[in-house]
Amino acid sequence: MASENSVPASARKRPRPAPDGDADIHLLLLGGFRLLHDGKPMAVPRGLQRTIALIGLRPGATRTHLAGLLWPDTPEERALSSLRTALWRLRQDRACPIVTAGDTVRLHPMVHVDVDELVRAATEVNHGDDPRRATPVLAAGRHDLLPGWYDDWVLLERERIRQLRLHLLDETARAHLRAGEHGAALQAALEAIAAEPLRETPHRLVVETHLAEGNAYEALHAFYVYRDLLLRELQLEPSAAMYGLINDILSPICTPEQQRRPRPGIDPLRNTRPV
Instruction: Encode pLDDT of 100-146 as tens digits.
Output: 888 999 999 999 999 999 999 999 998 889 998 888 888 777 889 99
Domain assignment of residue 170, given as a range: 115-181
Residue 123 lies in a domain: yes
- For residue 16, give the CATH number of its domain: 1.10.10.10
Residue 210 lies in a domain: yes
The answer to whether residue 274 scores a pLDDT higher than 90 is no
- Residue 96 pLDDT level (bands cut at 50, 70, 90): confident
The answer to whether residue 3 scores a pLDDT higher than 60 is no
Residue 134 lies in a domain: yes
* Number of domains forming the structure of the chain: 3
Residue 162 lies in a domain: yes
Q: How far apart are CA 29 and CA 50, in angstroms?
A: 11
Pairing type for strands 111-113 and 25-28 reads: parallel
Out of 5-9, 203-207, 253-257, the most confident range is 203-207
* Percentage with pLDDT > 90 across the chain: 69
Same domain, 95 and 28: yes
Same domain, 8 and 84: yes
Residue 187 lies in a domain: no
Same domain, 121 and 78: no
Same domain, 92 and 123: no
Residue range 52-92, pLDDT digits in tens: 999 999 999 999 999 999 999 999 999 999 999 999 999 88
Q: Which of 47-51, 111-115, 138-142, 168-172 has the lowest mean pLDDT?
A: 138-142
Residue 243 lies in a domain: yes
Q: Which of 86, 109, 132 is the last residue of a domain?
A: 109
Residues composing the chain: 275
Same domain, 175 and 203: no
Same domain, 144 and 207: no
Residue 35 lies in a domain: yes
Kindly state the helix (H) or strand (E) to which residue 24 belongs, with its residue range: none
Distances in Å between the alpha carbon of 172 and those of 136, 146, 196?
12, 25, 16
- Answer for the pair 151, 69: CB distance below 8 angstroms, yes or no: yes
Same domain, 170 and 201: no
The answer to whether residue 275 scores a pLDDT higher than 50 is no
Residue 188 lies in a domain: no
Residue range 235-256, pLDDT digits in tens: 999 999 999 999 878 765 554 5
- Answer for the pair 55, 98: CB distance below 8 angstroms, yes or no: yes
Same domain, 245 and 266: yes
Scanning the chain, the segments in alpha helix (DSSP H) are 9-13, 46-57, 63-70, 76-92, 114-126, 135-140, 152-178, 182-195, 200-213, 216-234, 240-250, 256-259
**Mean pLDDT taken over the chain:** 85
Q: How far apart are CA 215 and CA 185, in angstroms?
A: 14
The answer to whether residue 10 scores a pLDDT higher than 90 is no
Q: Which of 109, 137, 154 is the last residue of a domain?
A: 109
